[in-house]
Chain A
Amino acid sequence: MTDVAAPTTRKDWATDQEPRWCPGCGDYGILAAVQFLMPELRVKPENTVFISGIGCSSRFPYYMNTYGMHSIHGRAPAIATGLAVARPDLDIWIVTGDGDGLSIGGNHLIHILRRNVNVTILLFNNQIYGLTKGQYSPTSEIGKITKSTPYGSIDRPFNPLSVALGAGATFVARTHDLDRKHMMATFRAAHDHQGASFVEIYQNCNVFNDGAFEDVTGREHRDERLIDLVHGEPIRFGAEREHGVVMGADGLLRIVDVADVGVEALVVHDAHRDDPGLAFALANLSTSVHEPTPFGVFRAVRRAEFSGEASRQLARAAEQKGPGDLGRLLRSLGTWTVS
């Protein structure tokens, strides 16, 4: 989609605006990963657009020296869809959060995914409302005590990956804010995917929900709980890669010790499978952020892309009917002459 550009550096992609996130916020790490990645993608800043909604994460466009729009709460996918259909030549990124993307903007998110519009969606999941100072979010765990739920929240959280897969997303991945290399690899794969790519980023809100993902993403826990999915490889993890994932006769995934079952028994990750079943099962392997949790690309399949299809319809119409002739259009219902 994007043509090969002259080499750029991280500096070319940064603005003079000072980020206004809280010191220690996970968003800084994500911004750095994106800014480091852009020169590697060999795309042009002027052909790149970042669109966001409302929330801490949605300040992101102000810090990218590209075209950008900080829009309204939840609506970034709608705005991005219009831009993508109008301008399929552009490289469009959406930055959203768990409240913006899954609560107020949930409708737009599922529709941009089902339509498979060519955008890269980065959903910063910190399981809390940060900008409004600490209410529970649609990804907060049940029983979450916050300002708006002093007796504990009673709603069941969304699993963002399940939502995306359920909406028919063609690219679904997860990464986290503490691993720049993993983020860059994941964002690159998402960017290169033709269609809507959905990336959930575990992002730490050190003010209102500090350490939410520590049990999985913290350096001392990663070996035990972070499962790195690699397409075509058996799914295994652990310091010695001693754990693995098998599928039982009941179709359920289970975590086992490789020594007990043998490598051959492990599920081989297949992100390109047409059927989303495995991706869905992997997305639901852990029921909390305190258990072994898969990261990486869950699903990446090819489907017709929306803005390209829309452009093709236009081209076909022009081919069949010729370019629009306004004079002819105004006479198309039949005319009569008064002399």
Chain B
Amino acid sequence: MQGGMTVTDTVRRGVPAEPLPRVVLRFAGDSGDGMQLTGDRFTSVSALFGNDLSTLPDYPAEIRAPAGTVHGVSSFQVAISDHDITTPGDAPNMLIAMNPAALKADLPRLERGGTLIVNKDTFEPRDLEKAGYATNPLTDDSLTGYKVVEVPMTSLTKEACVPLGVKPRDADRSKNFFALGLISWLFSRPVEPTLEWIDERFAKADLVRQSNRAAFMAGWNYGETTELFDHPFQIPPARLPAGEYTNISGNTALAWGVVAAGQLAGLPVFLGSYPITPASDILHELAKHKNFGVRTFQAEDEIAAAGAALGAAFGGHLGVTTTSGPGLALKSETISLAVSLELPLLVIDIQRGGPSTGLPTKTEAADLNLSLYGRHAEAPLPVVAAYSPSHCFDAAIEAARIAITYRTPVVLLSDGYLANGSEPWRVPDLAALRPIPVDFATEPNHEAPDGTPEFWPYLRDPVTLARPWAVPGTPGLQHRIGGIEKEDGSGNISYSPENHDKMVHLRAAKIAGVDVPPAVVSGPDEAELLVVGWGSTWGAIDSAVERLGREGRTIAWVHLTHLNPLPANLGEILHRYPTVVVPELNLGQLCRLLRSEYLVDARPITKVRGLPFSADELITAFREVLA
């Protein structure tokens, strides 16, 4: 190891690791402390090691909220496991708190008796005051019941880095790597992947690179040489189905799904987008992939982003626009135009807490009503929702398939939890992905009374009711489309009452007839409870249903990915069970829809705290219903 602390072999080297099936860690610090990066690195190394995992980044909206305050706390929770898991865990088993504010903000989440690793150097009177502590929690007995490990991370990091020529103030910035090194030792993670990552990431700033390496190794060695912990732990690799895996976040999976959809359809992708949290990463990711023929356009506003995507769709591209709730509201008029023009348009909404700016970095799933109904007049469109980070890939392809096949805008819903959370994903077999057929019109499809061939832009396919997609540049098919009501068939302007009535019904029938796979119930046909979920509640429902099942409760569960149209067999399923509950991160939007659509006494289970459901919360709620 370079400079700084010299650590020689000690008697402790080789202490055997205790196997653990699962651990939930939470890294918490100031938003400038690099906790997201630390958590992300730990996750990546664990993924490469073969653990199953699930993550929950939790950070403030401000880039740098006042340092040392509870408002500025940024956390990253990760569950790693030797078996298949679907949630980032309810209560962490271990909390790594880089300052008093982090302790204050996140201690309530830590399980009773859990391990608390704190950066002792930051518990000075000024830090305590900023965090709102009247007395020092490390000395006032308020942490009784937890296993508290005090580590002087700041000073040890400085000792490791200053001899390299790093200024003490700059050395402070490496303390997250000290923490990462310590935790890596504690959970027997290999050091090489992180050292390689540091070398690559900081290749252009050699002193920073050296400083981070030194801090990381100092943390690792500190774990090994001190007796703060009896022994390290080991979470063996998970027994996942055989295959090649990668660790993926929802937004990356979604961006890749869009690239894949373009390839499956043989269409160039055009993304029109305006930066908005938590959707911007999709723009960033797609902007990298120009060699796939992906065009990305950062528009002047949300409206222009949707308009440009629609213009590209008119030109024969797979038009995509990405946003979050407030942006979806702004795009509403353009989406209605797309409904009227009957052009494919993929509208991706990464939901966040609202209304208005709301909780931009926190999750919520309250844009279902906006997606289903948030347009003027009768403007139905299909809605698809992703349920896990990796499912975002499939959901993007499915939404694109519907948009292209039926020439309609489609809203694809994800949320902040899926967007930033990650999980291992078995890399799909590309040959098994279904191509999306695109049949551009190339010939006239109608004859004028005098026998002249002509092109009617609204002459529909009898099965899908989709209109022909004739792109500019095709000789002889010149046509005009617009927002004014069109005559069925010819597409000419028509204000006739009969025609408008017909067109409103045709547009509705087209969407109602979208080919949606039947809903699949997991669990017994006869059960005391049916849980209907959609979106990111999947992981928590999965855990809750499984745990209650082990207690002998019979619970059936159906998770909807198509929210419009709903699967044809859903009504029959809903009426098969005596009790139906609908957990949602809103005030019951799907629940109300099911009640009105199917006259079923579905009951809502709601949460709007900017956080996903925990399995415990759902178990409690299900038990209450069953009691």
Instruction: Name A's B-contacting residues (CB within 8 A).
Output: 15, 17, 44-51, 54, 61-62, 64-72, 75, 77-87, 89-90, 107-108, 111, 310, 313-314, 316-318, 320-324, 326-327, 329-331, 333-339
User: Across the interface, which residues of B come within 8 angstroms of A334, CB to CB?
Assistant: 44, 48, 246-247
Contact B297 A82, beta carbon cutoff 8 Å: yes
Q: A69-B481, A72-B333, A78-B307 are in contact. Are A87 and B315 (CB under 8 A)?
A: yes
Contact A338 B241, beta carbon cutoff 8 Å: yes
User: Across the interface, which residues of A come within 8 angstroms of B477, CB to CB?
Assistant: 46
User: Across the interface, which residues of B come within 8 angstroms of A47, CB to CB?
Assistant: 472-473
CA distance A67 to B244 in the complex (A): 48
Residue of B at shortest CB range from A88?
B315
User: Across the interface, which residues of B come within 8 angstroms of A82, CB to CB?
Assistant: 270, 272, 297, 307-313, 315, 319
Which of B248, B272, B289, B482 contacts A333 (CB under 8 A)? B248
CB pairs A–B below 8 angstroms (11 shown): A47-B472, A69-B481, A82-B313, A314-B293, A320-B291, A323-B292, A324-B294, A333-B246, A334-B246, A336-B48, A338-B237
Contact B473 A70, beta carbon cutoff 8 Å: no
CA distance A79 to B310 in the complex (A): 6
Residue of A at shortest CB range from B285?
A329
CA distance A75 to B493 in the complex (A): 20
Contact A71 B483, beta carbon cutoff 8 Å: yes
Is B295 among interface residues, defined by CB-CB distance under 8 A? yes
Is B317 among interface residues, defined by CB-CB distance under 8 A? yes
Which of B238, B268, B299, B301 contacts A86 (CB under 8 A)? B268
Residue of A at shortest CB range from B239?
A338
Nearest CB on A from B621, distance (A): 34
Is B109 among interface residues, defined by CB-CB distance under 8 A? no
* Contact bitstring B214-256, A, C-beta under 8 A = 1, else 0: 0000000000000000000000011111111111100010001
Contact B297 A70, beta carbon cutoff 8 Å: no
Is B585 among interface residues, defined by CB-CB distance under 8 A? no
Instruction: Name B's A-contacting residues (CB within 8 A).
Output: 44, 47-50, 237-248, 252, 256, 259-260, 263, 268, 270, 272, 289-295, 297, 299-301, 303-317, 319, 333-334, 337, 341, 427-428, 430, 471-484, 492-493
Q: A83-B315, A324-B292, A338-B237 are in contact. Are A69 and B50 (CB under 8 A)?
A: no
Nearest CB on A from B285, distance (A): 10
Contact A331 B304, beta carbon cutoff 8 Å: no
11 extra A-B contacts, CB within 8 A, seeds A107-B301, A333-B248: A47-B472, A71-B337, A75-B333, A79-B307, A83-B312, A85-B270, A86-B315, A108-B307, A318-B291, A324-B259, A336-B47
Nearest CB on B from A322, distance (A): 7
User: Across the interface, which residues of B come within 8 angstroms of A316, CB to CB?
Assistant: 290
CA distance A171 to B180 in the complex (A): 57
Contact B300 A86, beta carbon cutoff 8 Å: no
User: Across the interface, which residues of A come within 8 angstroms of B245, CB to CB?
Assistant: 335-338
CA distance A331 to B248 in the complex (A): 10
Contact B427 A75, beta carbon cutoff 8 Å: no
CA distance A61 to B500 in the complex (A): 22
Contact A85 B308, beta carbon cutoff 8 Å: yes
Which of B315, B427, B478 contacts A331 (CB under 8 A)? B427
User: Across the interface, which residues of B come within 8 angstroms of A64, CB to CB?
Assistant: 480
User: Across the interface, which residues of A come within 8 angstroms of B308, CB to CB?
Assistant: 78-79, 81-82, 85
Nearest CB on B from A1, distance (A): 12
User: Across the interface, which residues of A come within 8 angstroms of B482, CB to CB?
Assistant: 61-62, 68-71
CA distance A338 to B473 in the complex (A): 50
CA distance A250 to B270 in the complex (A): 50
CA distance A219 to B309 in the complex (A): 45
Contact B290 A313, beta carbon cutoff 8 Å: yes
Contact A108 B478, beta carbon cutoff 8 Å: no
User: Across the interface, which residues of B come within 8 angstroms of A67, CB to CB?
Assistant: 314, 472, 478-480
Which of B240, B256, B301 contacts A329 (CB under 8 A)? B256
Contact A321 B291, beta carbon cutoff 8 Å: yes
Residue of B at shortest CB range from A330?
B427
CA distance A337 to B305 in the complex (A): 40
Contact A62 B493, beta carbon cutoff 8 Å: yes
Contact B312 A85, beta carbon cutoff 8 Å: yes
CA distance A331 to B426 in the complex (A): 10
Nearest CB on B from A336, distance (A): 5
Residue of A at shortest CB range from B433?
A326
CA distance A90 to B259 in the complex (A): 25
User: Across the interface, which residues of A come within 8 angstroms of B239, CB to CB?
Assistant: 338
User: Across the interface, which residues of A come within 8 angstroms of B263, CB to CB?
Assistant: 324, 326
User: Across the interface, which residues of A come within 8 angstroms of B307, CB to CB?
Assistant: 71-72, 75, 78-79, 81-82, 108
User: Across the interface, which residues of B come within 8 angstroms of A90, CB to CB?
Assistant: 315, 472-473
- Most chain A CB within a 10 A radius of its CB, from B263, B300, B430: B300
CA distance A165 to B294 in the complex (A): 32
Contact B259 A326, beta carbon cutoff 8 Å: yes
Residue of B at shortest CB range from A339?
B242
User: Across the interface, which residues of B come within 8 angstroms of A65, CB to CB?
Assistant: 478
Nearest CB on A from B148, distance (A): 35
User: Across the interface, which residues of B come within 8 angstroms of A45, CB to CB?
Assistant: 478
User: Across the interface, which residues of B come within 8 angstroms of A333, CB to CB?
Assistant: 246-248, 252
User: Across the interface, which residues of A come within 8 angstroms of B305, CB to CB?
Assistant: 78
CA distance A324 to B255 in the complex (A): 14
Contact A78 B299, beta carbon cutoff 8 Å: yes
User: Across the interface, which residues of B come within 8 angstroms of A108, CB to CB?
Assistant: 300, 303-304, 307
Q: A111-B304, A329-B289 are in contact. Are A310 and B472 (CB under 8 A)?
A: no
Contact A70 B472, beta carbon cutoff 8 Å: no
Contact A66 B243, beta carbon cutoff 8 Å: no
Which of B256, B297, B480 contacts A61 (CB under 8 A)? B480
Contact B290 A317, beta carbon cutoff 8 Å: yes
Q: A318-B291, A338-B240 are in contact. Are A86 and B473 (CB under 8 A)?
A: no
Contact B237 A326, beta carbon cutoff 8 Å: no
CA distance A54 to B337 in the complex (A): 12
Q: A49-B472, A89-B473, A338-B245 are in contact. Are A80 and B311 (CB under 8 A)?
A: yes
User: Across the interface, which residues of A come within 8 angstroms of B314, CB to CB?
Assistant: 67, 69, 79, 83
